[in-house]
């Protein structure tokens, strides 16, 4: 045991604040007879320690750490002996280079769940139960460091019992900033028909759910709209009132045991469902359950009750509930009581509310298991803010402004990129305001002034316009092509050598291209500093631009025009498209003369076309609808459609697709075609390091086949969304490379 008279100073970076890390260090150090102190500072956690075997201590730090903590880096300095008399937890140090870890909101932990169900515990059935391992964090933070005085819990004075726990270094609730109990915590109530109820609230809610009512329920990071998931009348009413014609709803279950009555999860899906993050997980459902909620899809977004509020409600009902975002379509979830009553009054029959203020809304995270690995679709509760540690160290500060859809922001400083939680699509005033607030919060929390700001190349995106308006006189503002940002997000996250030659494949629904057309089926060659577009799906025309994105018939028609031009009017499929003759002639004129028509190489739009040809949908009324439906119909097969490569263009035989007789094989053959295209390009270019990103790579059968390929190193997003939610990471990384 090496305990020479030395003092060691450890700086620990990662998710180490607000997760019980300091009391863990205190208990570990005292158990080893060590002396010194531990404190939070704006870089992470600092430990100064003497009288300890430093190798043993650091090993135990890594192997015994609290469940919600993530240690990304430990630096150790050897200093002169000071002769500490004991080991202390010191107050947070607010000085220094301000780039701390702000912990995400977390669902209820196993220890709190046991207390919640223990009649002898003082927090028995307490809706706001939490500890250092769970509860609200990011959603209630006012400033850093993450201390109670800097959260919305600062208005609740702790009772003596809570104060003792909060100050007890050996207690699980030591410095649990959101700590409370029935004697000193938030209060809740139920509003219905102009009346306010403070007694028997959960019984009243349960009774309303049993009678097909819709309730707006304030939870951890905002409001849910809930109803009985087995009550088709209630689900239809919710769909009508929310104006959500076919997008699936997520379903919350009391427990895994209850979920298994209705779902057929794999072992990996069970692990994700029951993990500390408790995300929404896409899982195959048992038929005929949840037909109205799922709208023809075989999988459902399932998650478990993750707060005492939800669990208390489940004490009075024996059915799962729809728990969808408490918002009007295309705006952020409501977080304030008055705002919810105003915006949701035409949807909800009643409101469950409490007086713990939510500073910023946080959605539920959504994940999908692809070949036993979690693929993040929406990064929010329990996952974000997300620190990503980069091998590249930059001297300046870079800001990524995100995409138009599924927008996020990212800050790159030193060797860390911080990714914000999901913000949403920047097409409403409310979402734009949320975007601005998130940006303000991040710049303030991390005390940064960006030197370089990277936005999307699309000149009309709000994020691009705002970047120039806000930062052009303070920083260098540059644009980065959308699909290159996708590839760079993987290079950053996976710490690929920035000079390493890679083949980058970015496939999705849309992205403004360097030639002014819409890209979405791209192959790049190069490295992080220089990516060159070398191949792409042969562009086809979107007749009517946005209208073609929602109406896949126009894509089918465009491809028939491409094959036959004026002779297309005699094609048997054209009659089935159900266009009026006058409209058909107008659409041909638009196609022929490029009137209100844009070229695209989008793979995502081709999924929409296939979904229509298979008779799965006539309209694309939510993002990735066609892709989800086509994947749902995939059957194991190696058949694919013909294609060839001419110059830089990949030309798929759309004639074969349009004339397909065995419709049930179309999904498999189309997805297999995409796989074969990738294989052909890999063989042609002979590049082993292959990077894939973009929403198309949420496709399970495609990714499964790519992962099984021999002779290549496949890189893809694992910690962040492969969709547009990860774009800001690629942008921020690019800015860092320019510094």
Three-class secondary structure of residue 620 per DSSP = coil
* Angstrom distances, CA of residue 288 to CA of 230, 285, 297: 10, 8, 11
Residue 263, strand partner residues:
285
What's the CA gap between 430 and 426, in Å, rounded? Answer: 9
Q: Look at residues 181, 121, 174 and name the one whose alpha carbon lies nearest to residue 148.
A: 174
Residues listed for the chain: 739
For 49-70, give one letter per residue: b (16+ CB within 10 A) or e.
Answer: bbbbebeebbebbeeebbebbb
Do the beta carbons of residue 185 and residue 129 sit within 8 Å? Answer: no
Rounded to 5°, angle at Cα 288 from 287 and 291? 110
Three-class secondary structure of residue 353 per DSSP = strand
What's the CA gap between 332 and 121, in Å, rounded? Answer: 37
Contacts of 32 (CB under 8 A, 6+ apart): 52, 53, 56, 57, 60
Locate all alpha helices (DSSP H) within 93-172, ordered by sequence. Answer: 110-116, 160-167
Q: Is the dihedral of CA 350, 355, 357, 362 positive or negative?
A: negative
What's the CA gap between 142 and 606, in Å, rounded? Answer: 45
Do the beta carbons of residue 291 and residue 204 sit within 8 Å? Answer: no
* Angstrom distances, CA of residue 199 to CA of 141, 186, 189, 203, 210: 30, 15, 8, 9, 19
Told to judge if 444 belongs to the known catalytic residues of this protein, a careful annotator would answer no
Contacts of 120 (CB under 8 A, 6+ apart): none
> Would you call the peptide bond into 288 cis, given omega within 30 degrees of 0 as the criterion?
yes
Strand order through the sheet with 410-419: 410-419, 386-400, 452-456, 476-480
Do the beta carbons of residue 158 and residue 184 sit within 8 Å? Answer: yes
SS (H, E, C) 173-229: CCCCCCCCCCCCCCCEEEEECCEEECCCHHHHHHHHHHCCCCEEEECCCCEEEEEEC
What's the CA gap between 733 and 728, in Å, rounded? Answer: 8
At 534, which helix (H) or strand (E)? strand 530-537
Told to judge if 40 belongs to the known catalytic residues of this protein, a careful annotator would answer yes
The tokens of 422 are what? 């999901």
Three-class secondary structure of residue 583 per DSSP = helix
| Catalytic residue (choose from 7, 9, 22, 200) | 22
Beta strand ranges found along 306-461 (DSSP E):
321-325, 350-354, 366-370, 373-378, 386-400, 410-419, 452-456
What's the CA gap between 167 and 216, in Å, rounded? Answer: 36
Pairing relation of β-strands 713-715 and 643-646?
Answer: unpaired
- Report the chain's terminal Cα–Cα distance, integer Å: 46
Q: Look at residues 239, 258, 240 and name the one whose alpha carbon lies nearest to residue 248.
A: 239
| Catalytic residue (choose from 7, 40, 137, 700) | 40
What's the CA gap between 71 and 69, in Å, rounded? Answer: 7
DSSP structural state of residue 567: G
Q: Look at residues 343, 347, 341 and name the one whose alpha carbon lies nearest to residue 322.
A: 347
The catalytic site residues sit at 22, 40
């Amino acid at each position: 045991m090496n305990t020479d008279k030395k003092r060691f100073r450890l700086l620990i970076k990662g998710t180490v604040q607000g997760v019980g890390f300091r009391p863990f260090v205190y208990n570990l150090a005292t158990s080893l007879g060590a002396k010194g102190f531990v404190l939070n500072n704006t870089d992470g956690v600092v430990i100064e320690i003497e009288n300890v075997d430093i190798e043993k201590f650091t090993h135990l730090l890594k192997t015994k750490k609290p469940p919600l903590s993530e240690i990304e880096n430990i630096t150790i300095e050897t200093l002169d002996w000071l002769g500490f008399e004991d080991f202390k937890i010191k107050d947070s140090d607010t000085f220094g280079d301000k780039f701390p870890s702000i912990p995400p909101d977390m669902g209820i932990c196993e220890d709190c769940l046991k207390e919640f169900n223990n009649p002898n515990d003082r927090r028995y059935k307490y809706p706001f139960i939490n500890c250092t391992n769970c509860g609200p964090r990011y959603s209630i933070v006012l400033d850093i460091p993450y201390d109670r005085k800097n959260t919305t819990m600062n208005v609740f004075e702790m009772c003596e019992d809570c104060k003792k726990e909060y100050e007890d270094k050996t207690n699980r609730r030591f410095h649990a900033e959101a700590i409370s109990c029935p004697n000193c915590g938030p209060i809740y109530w139920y509003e219905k028909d102009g009346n306010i109820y403070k007694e028997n609230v959960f019984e009243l809610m349960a009774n309303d759910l049993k009678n097909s009512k819709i309730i707006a329920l304030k939870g951890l990071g905002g409001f849910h709209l809930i109803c009985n998931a087995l009550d088709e009348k209630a689900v239809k009413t919710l769909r009508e009132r929310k104006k959500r014609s076919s997008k699936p709803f997520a379903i919350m279950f009391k427990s895994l045991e209850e979920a298994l009555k209705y779902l057929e999860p794999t072992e990996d899906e069970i692990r994700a469902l029951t993990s500390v993050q408790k995300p929404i997980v896409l899982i195959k459902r048992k038929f005929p359950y949840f037909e109205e909620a799922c709208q023809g899809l075989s999988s459902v977004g399932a998650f478990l009750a993750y707060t005492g509020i939800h669990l208390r409600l489940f004490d009075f009902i024996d059915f799962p509930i729809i728990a969808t975002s408490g918002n009007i379509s295309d705006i952020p979830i409501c977080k304030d009581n008055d705002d919810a009553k105003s915006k949701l009054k035409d949807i909800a029959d009643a409101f469950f509310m409490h007086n713990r203020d939510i500073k910023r809304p946080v959605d539920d995270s959504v994940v999908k298991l692809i070949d036993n690995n979690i693929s993040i679709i929406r990064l929010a509760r329990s996952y974000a803010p997300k620190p990503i540690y980069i091998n590249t160290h930059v001297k300046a500060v870079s800001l990524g402004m995100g995409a138009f859809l599924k927008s996020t922001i990212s800050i790159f400083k030193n060797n860390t990129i911080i990714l914000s939680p999901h913000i949403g699509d920047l097409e409403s005033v409310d979402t734009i305001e949320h975007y601005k607030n998130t940006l303000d919060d991040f710049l303030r929390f991390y005390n940064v002034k960006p030197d370089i700001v990277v936005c999307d190349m699309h000149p009309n995106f709000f994020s691009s316009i705002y970047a120039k308006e806000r930062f052009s006189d303070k920083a260098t503002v540059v644009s980065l092509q959308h699909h290159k940002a996708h590839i760079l997000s993987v290079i950053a996250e996976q710490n690929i050598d920035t000079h390493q030659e890679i083949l980058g494949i970015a496939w999705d629904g849309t992205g403004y291209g360097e030639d002014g057309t819409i890209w979405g089926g791209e192959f790049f060659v190069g490295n992080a500093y220089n990516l060159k577009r070398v191949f792409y799906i042969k562009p086809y025309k979107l007749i009517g631009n946005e209208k073609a994105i929602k109406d896949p018939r126009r894509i089918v028609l465009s491809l028939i025009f491409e094959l036959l031009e004026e002779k297309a009017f005699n094609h048997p499929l054209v009659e089935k498209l159900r266009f009026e003759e006058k409209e058909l002639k107008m659409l041909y004129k638009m196609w022929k003369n490029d009137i209100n028509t844009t070229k695209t190489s989008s793979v995502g739009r081709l999924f929409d076309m296939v979904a229509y040809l298979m008779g799965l949908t006539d309209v694309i009324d939510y993002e990735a609808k066609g892709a989800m439906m086509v994947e749902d119909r995939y059957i194991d097969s190696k058949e694919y459609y013909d294609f060839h490569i001419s110059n830089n263009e990949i030309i798929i035989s759309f004639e074969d697709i349009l004339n397909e007789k065995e419709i049930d094989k179309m999904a498999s053959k189309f997805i297999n075609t995409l796989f074969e295209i990738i294989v052909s390009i890999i063989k042609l270019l002979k590049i082993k390091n292959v990077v894939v990103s973009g929403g198309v790579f949420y496709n399970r059968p495609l990714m499964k086949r790519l992962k099984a390929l021999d002779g290549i190193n496949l890189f893809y997003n694992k910690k962040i969304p492969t969709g547009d939610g990860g774009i800001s990471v690629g942008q921020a990384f690019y800015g860092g490379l320019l510094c």
